[in-house]
């Protein structure tokens, strides 16, 4: 019975993912079509907008799966980078 519950749970997560991917695909296509009517640059900008929309759409679920917060990973990477630069500057005579 546990196996059946796992399969049903997996199907629920798959439908969740399908719904998100469908929303992203429709939004990205509509943005690209609208940008194509304007100019080549607008079409390229629509792809960037699509990537930003995907980031906005998936971020809460990625945070839930990885047990992180929105700013924690960005801040820790920035702090490590600054520490690395500072240490390299001190090492140069």
Confidence check: pLDDT of 84 > 90: no
What is residue 78's predicted lDDT score, i.e. its pLDDT? 67
What is residue 68's predicted lDDT score, i.e. its pLDDT? 66
Residue spans of alpha helices (H) in the chain: 2-38, 40-66, 72-91
Distance CA 26, CA 32 (A): 10
How many CA within 13 A on the CB side of residue 42? 10
> Domain total for the chain?
1
Report the 10 Å Cβ neighbour count for 50: 19
Query: At 1, is the pLDDT very low, low, confident or very high (cuts 50, 70, 90)?
Result: very low
What's the pTM value of the predicted model, to 2 decimals? Answer: 0.57
Residue 83 domain boundaries:
2-91
Condensed to tens digits (0 to 9), the pLDDT of residues 7-66 reads: 555 566 677 778 888 888 999 999 999 999 999 999 999 999 999 888 888 887 777 777
Report the 10 Å Cβ neighbour count for 31: 19
């Amino acid at each position: 019975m546990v196996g059946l519950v796992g399969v049903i749970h997996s199907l629920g997560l798959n439908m969740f993912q399908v719904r998100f991917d469908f929303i992203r695909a429709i939004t990205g296509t509509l943005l690209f079509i609208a940008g194509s009517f304007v100019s080549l640059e607008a079409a390229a900008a629509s792809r960037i907008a699509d990537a930003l929309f995907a980031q906005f759409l998936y971020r809460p679920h990625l945070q839930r799966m990885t047990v992180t917060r929105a700013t924690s990973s960005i801040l820790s990477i920035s702090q490590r980078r600054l520490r690395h630069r500072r240490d390299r500057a001190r090492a140069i005579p």
